């Protein structure tokens, strides 16, 4: 439960930053506190402990798998940035490239996007936990 205890504070501060309405913020924090001690929270703790173990693995392929996946996803997303420059010089070509990229991104399975989100949040939570415990810089 140590992981969960160290996560409730940071999650509550995130709630403070992203939910402007005071009443909605209070409801979100109440829901978070209600999760404490439930089966769902224990599942989250189990997942986070697996992520931490993976990040601390001696095998470089294991410890770098999650960050590498995130870098690949960043590259996929950032690949669309040069389109603005192309559009300034040749809008027709930019439109064709944009249509091609849209088709490409739409063809990626929804599960891949879900995996990206899960990996990103899990990696962030594991890093936060490591910083709280003093094992990560």
Q: Give tens-digit pLDDT for 106-135.
A: 898 988 888 878 877 777 777 777 777 766
CA distance 37 to 52: 21
> 90-106, pLDDT tens digit by residue?
999 988 988 988 898 88
What is the residue range of 22's domain?
Answer: 2-133
**What's the pLDDT score for residue 103?**
92
Number of separate domains in the chain? 1
Q: Within 13 Å and on the Cβ side, how many CA atoms surround 73?
A: 16
Quick check: 49 pLDDT over 90?
Answer: no
And the tokens for 66? 């999650």
And the tokens for 55? 């990040």
CA distance 43 to 88: 50
């Amino acid at each position: 439960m140590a992981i969960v205890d160290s996560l409730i504070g940071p999650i509550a501060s995130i709630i403070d930053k992203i939910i402007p309405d005071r009443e909605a913020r209070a409801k979100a924090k109440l829901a978070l506190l209600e999760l404490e001690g439930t089966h769902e929270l224990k599942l989250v703790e189990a997942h986070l402990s697996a992520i931490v173990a993976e990040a601390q693995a001696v095998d470089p392929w294991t410890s770098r798998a999650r960050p590498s996946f995130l870098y690949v996803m960043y590259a996929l997303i950032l690949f669309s940035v040069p389109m603005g420059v192309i559009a300034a010089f040749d809008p027709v070509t930019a439109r064709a490239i944009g249509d091609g990229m849209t088709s490409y991104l739409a063809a990626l399975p929804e599960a891949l996007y879900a995996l990206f989100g899960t990996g990103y949040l899990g990696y962030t939570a594991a890093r936060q936990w490591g910083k709280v415990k003093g094992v990560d810089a």
